[in-house]
């Protein structure tokens, strides 16, 4: 297999792994109704994903060094197929929680090695583009799965849409292709446990992505139920696509900006876009929902995501792997805990009040993190000064 095709094949596999993650999102409310449960139970099942990701981030940081890069990608593909198969055979809210646990494990395994593996598969002069390939393929995959399911659901309601079968077929093809990829780095003995860390000045960026991904989690887990009240549930997958994958359009601009400035811009956009999204959901205004999701994506997967990750890597020195794990640990906590809290509020106080409370906390959180970032900017300046004098 020509080595020049290897990065594209890995990107294809990463897209299929992440495509499975939100494949069931437009059906969340249907699963909840079949199980006789509400928004809180749906949010808990949704958060099973994080229970799969966290052990990998916390305890298996050295796994790729011990067994190689390729086995982790193969395992992630197999887990994505297993999760999809579970939802095909037993569509329910309980099955969703189990499937998302497997999806979290798979995504965690892939995330632990994707950027490093991509860099090793690229030509020496192109290895600096590894992170760009990984963020692009995964951002596309996370949003595309939900959009595909919504597309199939437009033809009629079903618990087993064609998108599930399509993911299984394409993931099987990716499994075959990845099995033929080289694994340039030999297995090494090293510490399995590599706990996340937060270098001085990096915590504010972790809190910024926590707020951003809390907004994403709310759109994926709770928005379908709100849209259903207005007869718009078939469009929930497209709102998920907008809030995730449209961030790709803003990543080139985010890369050209200073990390602090990009993150601050994202924190400014986030509450404004959420206000538009929440207003659209409450009023049943589809244009407001999709435009709000599109704007939020610029912050969640554009300015805050790339700006924050770049700053953390810059502040981390020789601890880049552990610092990145710390960044994503807070991101995934944001992806789950605020969503469960908002789901409980929705069950007890109604969707409108839940959206308002989340929005108020989001505004306060963005303001507090923006203040903290001003201190982090000084830490980044010191790192730059040291690197110039070294």
Give the domain-ending residue among 132, 160, 193.
193
Give the domain-ending residue among 167, 193, 219.
193
What is the pLDDT averaged over residues 96-101?
Answer: 94
Buried/exposed code over 186-209 (b: 16+ C-beta within 10 A; e: otherwise): eeeeeeeebebebbebbbbbbbbb
Contact 107, 208 (CB under 8 A): no
Q: Does residue 188 register a pLDDT over 80?
A: no
Q: How far is CA 263 from the centre of its chain?
A: 17
Give the domain-ending residue among 165, 193, 221.
193
Same domain, 169 and 259: no
Same domain, 231 and 179: no
Same domain, 5 and 77: yes
pLDDT-based confidence at residue 65 (cuts at 50, 70, 90): low
Which tokens hold the place of 330?
């807070």
CATH code, 335: 1.20.1250.20
CB-based contacts of 359, cutoff 8 Å, min separation 6: 271, 274, 275, 278
Q: Does residue 376 register a pLDDT over 80?
A: no
Considering the entire predicted model, what is its pTM? 0.84
Same domain, 186 and 69: yes
Contact 46, 28 (CB under 8 A): yes
CB-based contacts of 142, cutoff 8 Å, min separation 6: 18, 19, 21, 22, 244, 245
- How many domains is the chain partitioned into structurally? 2
What is the pLDDT averaged over residues 11-40?
Answer: 89
Q: Does residue 77 register a pLDDT over 80?
A: yes
- From the CB of residue 384, how many other CB atoms can be counted at a distance below 10 Å? 11
Q: Does residue 111 register a pLDDT over 90?
A: no
Longest dimension (CA), the chain: 64
Same domain, 188 and 301: no
Same domain, 160 and 306: no
For the chain, the residue count is 390
Structural domain harbouring 65: 1-193
């Amino acid at each position: 297999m020509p080595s020049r095709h290897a990065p594209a094949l890995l990107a294809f596999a990463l897209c299929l792994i992440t495509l499975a993650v939100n494949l069931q999102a437009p059906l969340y409310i249907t699963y909840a109704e079949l199980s006789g449960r509400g928004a809180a139970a749906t949010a808990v099942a949704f958060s099973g994903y994080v229970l799969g990701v966290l052990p990998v981030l916390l305890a298996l940081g050295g796994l790729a060094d011990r067994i190689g890069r390729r086995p982790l990608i193969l395992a992630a593909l197999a887990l994505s197929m297993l999760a999809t198969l579970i939802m095909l055979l037993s569509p329910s809210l309980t099955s969703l929680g189990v499937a998302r646990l497997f999806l979290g494990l798979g995504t965690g395994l892939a995330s632990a090695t994707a950027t490093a593996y991509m860099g090793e598969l690229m030509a020496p002069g192109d290895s600096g583009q590894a992170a760009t390939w990984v963020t692009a393929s995964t951002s596309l995959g996370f949003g595309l799965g939900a959009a595909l399911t919504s597309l199939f659901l437009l033809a009629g309601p079903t618990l087993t849409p064609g998108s599930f079968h399509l993911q299984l077929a394409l993931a099987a093809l990716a499994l075959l292709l990845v099995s033929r990829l080289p694994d340039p780095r030999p297995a090494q003995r090293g510490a399995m446990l590599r706990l996340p860390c937060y270098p001085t000045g990096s915590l504010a960026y972790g809190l910024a992505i926590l707020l951003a991904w809390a907004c994403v989690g709310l759109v994926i887990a709770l928005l379908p139920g709100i849209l259903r009240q207005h007869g718009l549930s078939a469009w929930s997958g497209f709102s998920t696509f907008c809030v995730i994958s449209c961030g790709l359009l803003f990543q080139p601009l985010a890369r050209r900006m200073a990390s602090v400035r990009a993150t601050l811009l994202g924190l400014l956009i986030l509450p404004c876009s959420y206000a538009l999204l929440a207003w659209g959901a409450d009023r049943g205004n589809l244009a407001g929902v999709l435009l709000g999701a599109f704007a939020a994506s610029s912050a969640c997967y554009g300015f805050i995501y790339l700006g924050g990750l770049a700053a953390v890597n810059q502040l981390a020195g020789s601890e880049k792997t552990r610092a990145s794990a710390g960044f994503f640990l807070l991101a995934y906590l944001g992806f789950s805990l605020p969503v469960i809290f908002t789901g409980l509020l929705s069950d007890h106080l109604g969707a409108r009040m839940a959206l308002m409370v989340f929005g108020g906390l989001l505004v306060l959180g963005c303001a507090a993190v923006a203040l903290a970032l001003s201190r982090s900017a000084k830490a980044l300046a010191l790192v730059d000064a040291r690197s110039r004098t070294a």
